[in-house]
Chain A
Amino acid sequence: MKVKTMEANKSVLVIGGGIAGMQASLDLADRGLKVFLLEKTPSIGGRMAQLDKTFPTMDCSICILAPKMIECLRHPNITLLTYCEVQDVSGSAGNFTVKVLKKPRFIDEEKCTGCGECAQYCPIEVPNEFDMGIGIRKAIYVPLPQAVPLKYTIDEENCIKCRLCQRTCKAEAVDFDQKPETINLNVGAIIVATGFDMFDARKRREYGYGRYRNVLISLEFERLVSASGPTGGHIVRLSDGRVPRRIAFIQCVGSRSLKGGVTFCSSACCVYATKEAILIREHDPECEVYIFYNELKIFGKGFQEFVTRARDEWGVKYIRALPGEVVEDPKTHDLTMWYEDTTENVTKNMKVDLVVLCPALIPTVANKELASILGLDLDEYGFFECKDPLFKPIDTNVPGIFICGYSQGPKDIPESVAQASGAAARAAEVMALAASREAQ
């Protein structure tokens, strides 16, 4: 696939292969428009693929996501551009020219069957990014078992070129001579759906993340509790493999802060912590779970009822105090937290086996570069700025380019999905306008 040029008024570029990007792509494809779905990692799926269950319905995340991923793969109107990045954009609404860099996988995608033999023989083990560094992958890998497309990738940085994979591959798919490719696209509209990263919790040194083995961030915990994760879904401490008897969640790490973090509220953490708490109680009814919060954000549809269930039926305990610090016992790696208990009006400590921090969800760090390529305005936190925060939340300062999902502002999955459809509608409007101009 060297150079691809499609008729301008018939295709849309969607940047970001998470749930928002996929929804926008499917809406556009289902109505007959052509879509290029671009994703910088080797597989689409995004953050939702990393989750075990989703609130408030407790659906299995990958279960409801996988069909969408497969649909994107099979849909005749969608072309997946995975392991690709946008390098340059020129033109205007109705007629953008986009230069895309396709990074070399060193695997011939036409030949690879996804059988996985190569990975069995690869001698190099590195921390798996998809598992937040807790699990292991090989230098030749797929990020997750349900990867779409199910094609392997060789991680150039860690590969030692021993060529064992090449010798093993029955399909002869390994190609070390592969070079980066440039793809030129001609599209009528662009939708940005680049999602979020996590605030670096090491910045809040008082919580010991990065120093204490049993202090995790929420996405790491999701991987632990996921059946396809590094521990097969068993909640165990990373320091000694023991099953924890008492787990504490700390909310607002780096959020809602005038200093040492970001000012905004990530809008999903109170409920996802509740979800994780329920998962723990489901897995192990003997394990005590505490959620330390400041204000519980339960504004969404079904959120309040979800939290009430967690508290009344599942016995999750909510304490309105953010702990001052987490201290580790160097011998046992048990953790002690200091906080002010408002029911007793004393400052006390609590010994727990595992601490899960809920860090601020920040817009993807790479937005900065993308914004300058696309000519979009970015606010101080990295969210793309919309044209009018009241009546035009999806439009941007560049006509023909639209934003949706977390890159537009903090929101959860249903809001991302609805807004993604909204971006698709706006893109379709642009395409209709361009088509009618051409017709004249």
Chain B
Amino acid sequence: MSSEPRIVAFLCNWCSYAGADLAGTSRIRYPPNIRIIRVMCSGRVDPAFIFRAFETGADGVLVGGCHPGDCHYVSGNLKAEKRMENTKKLLKLLGLGPERLRLEWISAAEGEKFAQVVTDFTGTLRRIGPNPLKAKTNVNKSIDVEAVVSEALKKTNVQYCVECGKCSGSCPVSRVDNSFSPRRVVERFLLGFEDKVISGKDLWTCLSCYQCSERCPSDVRFPEFVRACRSIAPRDMLEETCAHRGIPMTLSRIMINPKIKQDRMGWLPERAQISKRGDLLYFVGCLPYLDILFEDFNLELIKTPQSVVKILNKVGIKPAMLPNEKCCGHDLLWTGDLENFEKLAKLNVANIKATGAKRVVTSCPECYRTIKKDYAEFVGELDFEVLHMSELLSELVDKDELKFEVYPERKVVYHDSCRLGRQMGVYEPPRKVISSLPGTQLVEMERNRENALCCGVNAWLSCNKYHKEIQMDRLKEAKATGADLLVTTCPKCRIHWKCVTSEKLPINPDEITMEMRDLSVLVAEAMNLA
């Protein structure tokens, strides 16, 4: 393995690519470590390409575009600039280092500049050393299809289906996308048409919201059946249907590598009291990454972990935290990447054990379900108790340990996210907490608890017009309660709803725009800690 750094470059056709050509025709020399990919505009460069490059071992990525004002497509390079800023922040979090990504404006006449940039960049990369992810490729090994399929059949009860149709009658996707029918998917599978099911589009449409499963008289676990099928399905369907070009999954996979040292504690509030060991561990989840990825939405996602730490400190708890916490792996699990999910699970469990924690609390419902349920299933029984922040807050309310100082008069409507609600059965603790806030009146949507409507997207899949309809439906329902705030515990729900309200839609945005709040932030505000 050579220790020479490898640079992958995306150069825009009109300026920087031409500039590189000029360097060549002018015989200006520069290190041969660079590999160039031509794109039409630097604005075309998707951060997904950049992460892919790093994931597959590139030591540095160069993006070249036209000077501002010169862009052949007017503003493409400005978009690139914004994106690259964002990507650099993520690279910093990951611990890969923002220096590995360079954005340069190189015109068609600047052959010299091109050579200079490459030489400089190569030197920097030699200095900071190779990409810790080098030589690691995440290719799914071939899995024993028969074993997976029979496992799915046994555990998920598909063979008990009696075609009653309750699933299709309950499925929120079925209502808006008539081609999707859980009942027919199961029937095809049972009849031996596994191939059609596994290579089809339907497999990636399911929200895994568990509404069907909750009502199914034969206890068919359709989402888990879908999940098992996804693990043997061809990946091209996944790539076709996955929103944000799979960036969150890429980040999760990158974290598996033990050489990655994340820099993810920067959000901690001043004077926060945390520790390396302790009885209670706070598992943050991917909020620091999501906060950056979706910074345009102004959701202040990072306030959630900040509020949690402040509340815990206020009641005298010094939580243990993992400076190298890995993604819980939820999205990998639900898109069928079982191999990498298992790796993440094992790493996280080992790291948690090392802190000596007896209880692990998390504010994210997906982390909650994944650690409490799926880790136990895939990795073995856990030595620690897992609880959701709402359960911990509910305990504190019972013990009267939360002191509220702010009493705004307002109506709050609570949304049961699928993972916390239907899947884990935690319905009452968040409600108890909200009801305990002085001045706050809790109102319910008609579809609540086990009948709550999913926020419309799962694991970033299938974010299309059908799913937008589901999202608008839910927001209209929330709005109709007359509440001032829509409160939930799941950051993904808030992201998806914010996404739909930011788009150009065929309805009046006032009908669906609601102020949203995370539960922990709501409590921290009432305690005057925000």
Contacts and interface: CB of A to CB of B under 8 A. Distances in A.
State yes or no: do A and B touch (Cβ within 8 Å).
yes
Given A258-B160, A327-B446, A340 B168 contact: yes
A340 B157 contact: no
B186 to A, nearest CB: 12
Contacts of A294: 162-165
Interface stretch (A55-63, A119-127, A180-188, A315-323): A315-323
Contacts of A206: 170, 215, 451
A364 interface: no
Interface in B137-186: 157, 160, 162-171, 174-175, 178, 181, 183-184
Most buried by B among A256, A257, A348: A257
A8 interface: no
Interface in A244-297: 252, 255-261, 294-295
A339 B217 contact: no
Contacts of A328: 446
A349 B184 CA distance: 18
A325 B170 contact: yes
A340 B167 CA distance: 9
13 contacts: A205-B451, A258-B157, A260-B217, A294-B165, A295-B162, A322-B164, A324-B211, A337-B169, A340-B165, A340-B174, A340-B183, A347-B175, A349-B175
A325 to B, nearest CB: 6
Nearest to A255: B217
A104 B211 CA distance: 50
Interface string A226-248: 00000000000000000000000
A342 B165 contact: yes
B164 A324 contact: no
A162 interface: no
A321 B165 contact: yes
Contacts of A345: 178, 181, 184
A338 interface: yes
A339 B175 CA distance: 9
A440 to B, nearest CB: 57
A324 B162 contact: no
A439 interface: no
B178 A346 contact: yes
B501 to A, nearest CB: 24
Nearest to A254: B217
A338 B175 contact: yes
Contacts of A320: 163, 165
B451 A325 contact: yes
A327 B473 CA distance: 14
Contacts of B99: none
A322 B162 CA distance: 11
Interface string B442-463: 0000110111000000000000
A258 B184 CA distance: 20
Given A205-B450, A258-B218, A259-B217, A322 B169 contact: yes
Contacts of A259: 216-217, 219
Size class of the contact patch on chain B: 20 to 34
A323 B170 CA distance: 7
B444 to A, nearest CB: 12
A342 B217 CA distance: 19
Interface residues of A, number: 32
A321 B164 contact: yes
B182 to A, nearest CB: 9
B395 to A, nearest CB: 27
A134 to B, nearest CB: 25
Interface string A318-362: 001111110110100000011110100111110000000000000
Contacts of B183: 340
A156 B364 CA distance: 54
B168 A347 contact: yes
Contacts of A256: 162, 217
Contacts, number: 89
Nearest to B169: A324
A257 B450 contact: no
Contacts of B215: 204, 206, 260, 324-325
Contacts of B450: 205
A327 B217 CA distance: 20
Nearest to A259: B219
Contacts of B451: 205-206, 325
Give 9 closest A-B pairs by Cβ, nearest first.
A324-B170, A324-B169, A340-B168, A321-B165, A257-B217, A347-B174, A294-B164, A346-B178, A339-B169
B448 to A, nearest CB: 10
A217 to B, nearest CB: 17
Contact of B181 (A261, A295, A347, A349): A347
A337 B168 CA distance: 12
A347 B217 contact: no
* Residue from the set A330, A339, A349 with the largest chain B CB neighbour count within 10 Å: A339
Interface in A40-77: none
Contacts of B447: 327
Contact of A340 (B169, B217, B219, B446): B169
B157 A323 contact: no
Given A325-B169, A347-B174, A340 B162 contact: no
Given A338-B175, A347-B174, A347-B178, A321 B217 contact: no
Interface in B414-466: 446-447, 449-451
* Residue with the highest number of chain B CB atoms closer than 10 Å, among A322, A325, A339: A322
A437 to B, nearest CB: 51
Nearest to B220: A258
Contacts of A204: 215
B191 to A, nearest CB: 16
Interface string B194-232: 000000000000000001100111110000000000000
A322 B165 contact: yes
B219 A258 contact: yes
Nearest to B183: A340
B157 A324 contact: no
Nearest to A260: B217
Contacts of A325: 169-170, 215, 451
B480 to A, nearest CB: 10
Which residue, A206, A320, A342, has most C-beta atoms of chain B within 10 A? Answer: A206
Nearest to A204: B215
Interface string A209-238: 000000000000000000000000000000
Contacts of B160: 258
Contacts of B167: 324
A260 B214 CA distance: 9
B169 A261 contact: no
Contacts of B446: 327-328, 330
